[in-house]
Chains A and B, each alone.
Chain A
Amino acid sequence: MDYIQNTPADAADMLKSIGVGSVDDLFAAIPEAVRLKRPLDIPPALPEQDLLAHLQALAARNRTFDAGRCFLGAGAYNHFVPAVVDALFSRGEFLSAYTPYQAEASQGTLQHIFEFQTMICELTGMDVANASHYDGGTALEEAVAMAVDHTERKKVVLSGAVNPQYRAVVKSLFKHLGATLIEVAQVRGQTPVATLREAAQDAACIVMQNPNFLGGIEDLSAVSEIAHAAGALSIASVNPVSLALLKSPGDCGCDIAVGEGQPLGIEMNFGGPWAGFIAAKKQFIRGMPGRIVGETLDAAGQRGFTLTLQAREQHIRREKASSNICTNQALMALRATIYLETLGPAGLRRVAELSVVRAHELAAKLAKVPGVKIPFQVPFFHEFVAEVPHAAQTLARLQEKGFLGGLHLQGAFRDLRDHLLLCCTERNSGADVDAFVAALAEAVK
């Protein structure tokens, strides 16, 4: 099975035009010794009908949970996506377009990216944003690289309350920077400011997450002051939905803001593809990795859009490039763009409000369940930590009852055994919260 249009008659004509006898002649340049002389050992072709049945069977062996029964966040959020997002995103013109290097033929792509950049700047309070990144983790890693480059310092201070997946990515990828990484452990759900102040000496940057991985709200303004006093940059990894209510990192004195665009209308997709974002103050624009769309005029004086500052990119700088990023996540950024433009400021605010209200409701009700404690006295957004006896077993029991009951934190935080990270979004109704509390109470007995 294939999508080839050439019939044997076509092929014969074409071979004649080329001047060879057979298709095999076209592969003569491959040395005989390395030619594959047997069929590939992969399963035989499936026509579309059978293919669909096969994939449906595979999908059926995965378990999805009802939207209202999901209380798991931890970097992937279960938000409602209006139907118009899917309908527009799946247009073939967006899906099957290439990178907009030929600007005149790609004004649609370029404009939707420009709108994305604009809204990211609005949310984060920054001057410049790029066309999106692989994900929040690589966006963070690139921001760290920018800081090391800009300050010419080799020390990076990283809050231990940053998403452990992101910290792992930063650790793996930044070895080439020849820098040292100082991790400041979280204490009772927040990053201790005093420890940050001590560590900030000679640092290239201080990296925070807000709300942090455990849901807590950090004092970004205080951290930015500490960073700047030490000559370091202030970097924040942020949740874009929270920025409908929370002060922007730009207004908190941060120099670079990064984050994950998944909460903005992108399906969880078991982890990808998503769209990370990176935004910064004006002076960092030339250090910014990835693609950037800029506004300009055409030969007739009309406004148009084009990829700009390409001299920073790998295809021109080659071995002098500070980043090897080629692809962005245009299609996923498009989803986020449609989502943000569809919801508008009031809609996004509503999503944030409902998430906050529901999470606080849940925390208050759980605190009353025997055996369950809310250990941290920190202000939180839509995620928080609950101490629960036999957390692993409890999660398994909740799963049996049809709930995704949060994340057992022991994996990433050694001293948080039997602690769960719980999340609410606008998809959890009051009734869902009550059902969950009852199920949890049952499960911990």
Chain B
Amino acid sequence: MKTIFEKSHPGRSTAYFAAAGPDEKSAASLLPAGALRATPPGLPEVSELEIVRHFTELSHRTFSIDGNFYPLGSCTMKYNPKINEKVAAMPGFAKLHPLQSEETVQGLLELMWSLERMLAEIAGMDAVTLQPAAGAQGELTGLLLIRSHHQETRQDQRKEILIPDSAHGTNPATATLSGYKTVSVRSDERGGIDLEDLKSKLSVRTAGMMITNPSTLGLFEENIQSIADLVHKAGGLVYMDGANMNAIQGKARPGDFGIDVMHFNLHKTFSTPHGGGGPGSGPVACKKFLEPYLPVPRIQKEGTAYKFDFGQPKSIGKVKAFWGNIGMHIRAYTYIRFHGPEGVRRNAEHAVLNANYLMSRLKKRFKVAYPRICMHEFVIDNTPYAKKTGVRTLDMAKRLLDYNFHPPTIYFPLIVHEAMMIEPTETESRETLDAFAAALLTIADEAKTDPQKVKTAPHTMPVKRLDEVRAAKNPNVKWCTPCDAPPPPEDPGTGPAASAD
């Protein structure tokens, strides 16, 4: 498929504004001559119809939840309800300027305040900020809260953050960015945090621990109370990465099992759309003693009126311009109001039910890394196939595309070899789960009978396997003439006229 630049022809753009009339002053004459650009920027010139065809075709070359099952572990690819889109697009929300006076946005402020309350309840904590733009920014916010706390209580010698070896890469990256040193804690044979290793790594230098619960292995930390206790006794605080909240919302609250501060991923647990890689939203919830450090502004309710409160002297400041990804707050609020307490709890129950069901369908032919009841996701260790047939997790993942399934998360967490992490979510039907299991079992057979087919998959996608080494060695991140890659073969359906260029 051609890029838009290869479809561009001078003069083709549709006009959306009236041309300058004879009375209109020349803008260039109003600006300093030295500040003007000499040549126009190289933007493409295509008509509105070509734009529609171009993006329609692009949409056909992308997997999506609307089109495909996406069992990506730790991503919670559940259905993105259409009502959320309708509400977020309402002019009464979408057309608001962030600097409008507070009295003109009372409806939105009430929505945000209410969302904070609901998230605090789900977290089992006291205060929430909606400002962080995504999970990673939420983690940064949380660690900065911890840092402020230790600074205020004159415990600046606490410079280490303990992180399990199964953690997502954002955890240690965030720790570094917050000025901390990462100390890795081992997982034991049951896949939980190794208590003895934890004890050996706690010290007066411990600022806190970052954990994910359920863990990235899809298992609830059986020793969570002991873990939190140990960290607290050592003078540290416990941060929870809330990526896996889908498994425990309404069943257990992090604030009740020893967590001091956590973030939510609205784009995981609360169905806001992934959009091909964002936007997300990473609200942070915390216990009362950390509340003074939350980013400004806070949202306060006085009687029936809502206000922004910038007067928080101990606040860490702002982590994002303006007030957060409001569009995502609106969607998440709509989603939680649709579900109510029972719906939220049922989401957890069926997410866990679906995961265990899928696991039961696969466990005879695939080695489950931790073969016991899982939470909302489980991890397969594909070493048996890799050893015996040479077909690796990567190959099976690519072959799944030919069966119209997006592959699960692969090669994560790092502590499982040839990992394949599967999270179906609660919105899938058992027919879909059965079909996915059948496809994976068929691929398992293919690994034995026709391994080459799997190793060279996918066969039915718009492109075959891509040369990532080439992309990284001499990165070409923008279109230019001439390109070092040959132009694609003529697209069928663009007709003879197109090939005249």
The distance in angstroms between the C-alpha atoms of A91 and B59, with both chains bound, is: 8
Bound Cα distance A113, B58 (Å): 11
What is the distance, in angstroms, from B428's C-beta to the closest C-beta of chain A? 7
Q: Which of B65-73, B197-205, B385-393, B440-448 contacts A (4 or more CB under 8 A)?
A: B65-73
Decide if A58 is an interface residue (CB 8 Å cutoff). Answer: yes
| Least Cβ–Cβ distance between A421 and chain B, in angstroms | 10
Among residues of A, the one whose C-beta sits closest to the C-beta of B344 is A40
Taking A96-B273, A137-B321, A172-B319 as contacts, is the C-beta distance between A297 and B485 under 8 angstroms? Answer: yes
Taking the nearest CB of chain A, how far is it from the CB of B339, in angstroms? Answer: 6
CA distance A15 to B354 in the complex (A): 10
Residue pair A165, B182 in contact (C-beta under 8 Å): no
Q: Does B212 contact A (CB under 8 A)?
A: no
CB atoms of B488 and A303 under 8 A apart: yes
What are the 3 A-B residue pairs with the smallest beta carbon separation, nearest first? A331-B275, A45-B340, A59-B92
Please measure, in the bound complex, the distance between the C-alpha atom of A11 and the C-alpha atom of B429, giving whole angstroms.
Answer: 10
The reply to whether the CB of A107 lies closer than 8 angstroms to some CB of chain B is yes
With contacts A267-B95, A295-B476, A334-B276 taken as known, whether A93 is within 8 angstroms of B62 at the C-beta atoms is yes
As a 0/1 sequence over residues 26 to 41 of chain B, the CB contacts with chain A under 8 angstroms (1 = contact) are 0110111011111011
| Chain B 458-501 interface mask (CB, 8 Å, partner A; 1/0) | 10011111111011100111110001011111000000000000
Residues on the A chain within 8 Å of B398, using CB: 102, 104
Which listed residue, B144, B316, B327, B478, touches A273 by the CB 8 Å rule?
B327
Question: Does A325 touch B at the CB level, under 8 Å?
Answer: yes
Minimum distance in angstroms from A312 CB to a CB of chain B = 10
A-side contacts of B111, CB under 8 Å: 58
Kindly state whether residue B86 has any CB partner on chain A within 8 Å. Answer: yes
- 1/0 per residue, CB under 8 A from A, across B427-443: the answer is 11110000000000000
Given contacts A42-B336, A295-B483, contact A243 B41 (CB under 8 A): yes
Residue in A closest to B104 when the chains form the complex, CB atoms: A63
CB <8 Å contact, A137 and B59: no
Contact across chains for A64 and B91 when beta carbons are under 8 A apart: yes
Residues of B within 8 A of A415 (CB): none
Residues of B245-290 contacting chain A, CB below 8 A: 248-253, 256-257, 267, 273-281
- Docked complex Cα distance between A293 and B466 (Å): 13
Q: Which of B81-122 contact A (CB under 8 A)?
A: 81, 83, 85-87, 89-101, 104-108, 110-111, 117-118, 121-122
In the complex, what distance in Å separates the CA atom of A88 from the CA atom of B55? 7
On whether the beta carbons of A64 and B485 are closer than 8 Å, the reply is no
* A197-256 at interface with B (beta carbon < 8 Å): 217, 219, 221, 243-248, 251
**Does A374 reach chain B (CB closer than 8 Å)?**
no
Q: How far is the CB of B430 from chain A (nearest CB, A)?
A: 5
By the criterion of a CB under 8 Å from any partner CB, how many residues of chain B are at the interface? 205
Q: Does B3 contact A (CB under 8 A)?
A: yes
Nearest CB on B from A9, distance (A): 10
**A-B residue pairs in contact (CB < 8 Å), sample of 5:** A1-B340, A165-B318, A245-B37, A267-B95, A315-B412
Count: A-B pairs, CB below 8 Å: 691
Contact B66 A341 (CB under 8 A): no
Q: How large is the interface on A (under 10, 10 to 19, 20 to 34, 35 or more residues)?
A: 35 or more
Question: Is A270 a contact partner of B472 (Cβ separation < 8 A)?
Answer: no
A344 and B17: CB pair below 8 A? no
Residues of A138-166 whose CB lies within 8 A of B: 138, 163, 165-166
Residues of A within 8 A of B249 (CB): 40
- From 360 to 417 in chain A, residues with beta carbon under 8 angstroms from any chain B beta carbon are 360-361, 379, 381, 395-396, 399, 404, 407
**Min CB distance, B338 to chain A, in Å?**
5
Across the interface, do A63 and B51 meet the contact criterion of CB distance under 8 Å? no
Contact digits for A256-276, partner B, Cβ 8 Å, 1 yes 0 no: 000010000001111111010
Within 8 A of B (CB), among A313-354: 313-321, 323-332, 334, 338, 340-354
Selected contact of A64 from candidates B96, B257, B476, CB within 8 Å? B96
Which residues of chain B are near A315, meaning CB under 8 Å? 168-170, 412
Q: How far is the CA of A248 from the CA of B465 in the complex (A)?
A: 37
Chain A residues, CB < 8 A from B42: 119, 122, 345
| CB-contact partner of A107 in B1, B55, B316, under 8 A | B1
Residue of B nearest to A61 (CB): B107
A346 contacts across to B, CB distance below 8 A: 13, 15, 45
Contact string against A for B residues 334-363, beta-carbon threshold 8 Å, 1 for contact and 0 otherwise: 101111111111110110111011011100
Interface 0/1 of B1-28, CB less than 8 Å to A: 1011100000011111101100011011
Chain A contacts for B267, CB-based, 8 A: 327
Give the shortest distance, in Å, between A192 (CB) and chain B (any CB): 17
How far is A175 from B464 in the complex, measured between Cα atoms in Å? 45
A-B contact sample (12 more), CB < 8 A, given A314-B174, A342-B14? A45-B341, A52-B86, A94-B59, A105-B458, A123-B41, A135-B320, A308-B475, A318-B171, A327-B280, A331-B279, A379-B30, A404-B97
Indicate if B373 sits at the interface (CB-CB under 8 A).
yes
Q: Is the CB of A97 within 8 A of B64?
A: yes
Tell me the nearest residue of chain B to A77, going by C-beta: B97
Chain B residues near A273: list those with CB within 8 A: 133, 278-279, 281, 325-328
CA distance A379 to B31 in the complex (A): 6
Nearest CB in chain A: distance from B70 CB, A: 6
**Bound form: Cα–Cα A244–B252 in Å:** 54
- Min CB gap A210→B, angstroms: 9
Quick one: which of A56-95 are within 8 Å of B by CB? 56-65, 70, 72, 74-76, 78, 80, 82, 84, 86-88, 90-95
Q: Tell me the complex Cα distance, A351–B107, Å.
A: 32
Chain B residues with CB under 8 A of A41: 121, 341
CA gap between A299 and B455 in the complex, in Å: 12
Alpha-carbon distance A331/B105, docked complex (angstroms): 25
Q: A93-B60, A407-B99 are in contact. Are A18 and B357 (CB under 8 A)?
A: yes
B139 at the interface (CB under 8 A from A): yes
In the assembled complex, the Cα of A315 lies from the Cα of B411 at a distance in Å of: 11
A349 to B36, CA, bound (A): 12
Q: Which residues of B lie under 8 Å from residue A76 when comparing CB positions? A: 97-99, 322
Q: Which residues of chain B are near A4, meaning CB under 8 Å? A: 346-347, 350, 426-427
Q: Are A357 and B24 in contact (CB under 8 A)?
A: yes
For residue B150, give the distance in angstroms from its CB to the closest CB of chain A. 14
Give every chain B residue within 8 A of A260 (Cβ-Cβ).
321
State whether the Cβ of B323 lies closer than 8 Å to any Cβ in chain A. yes
**Residue B175 is within 8 A (CB to CB) of chain A in the complex:** yes
Is B406's CB within 8 Å of the partner chain A?
Answer: yes
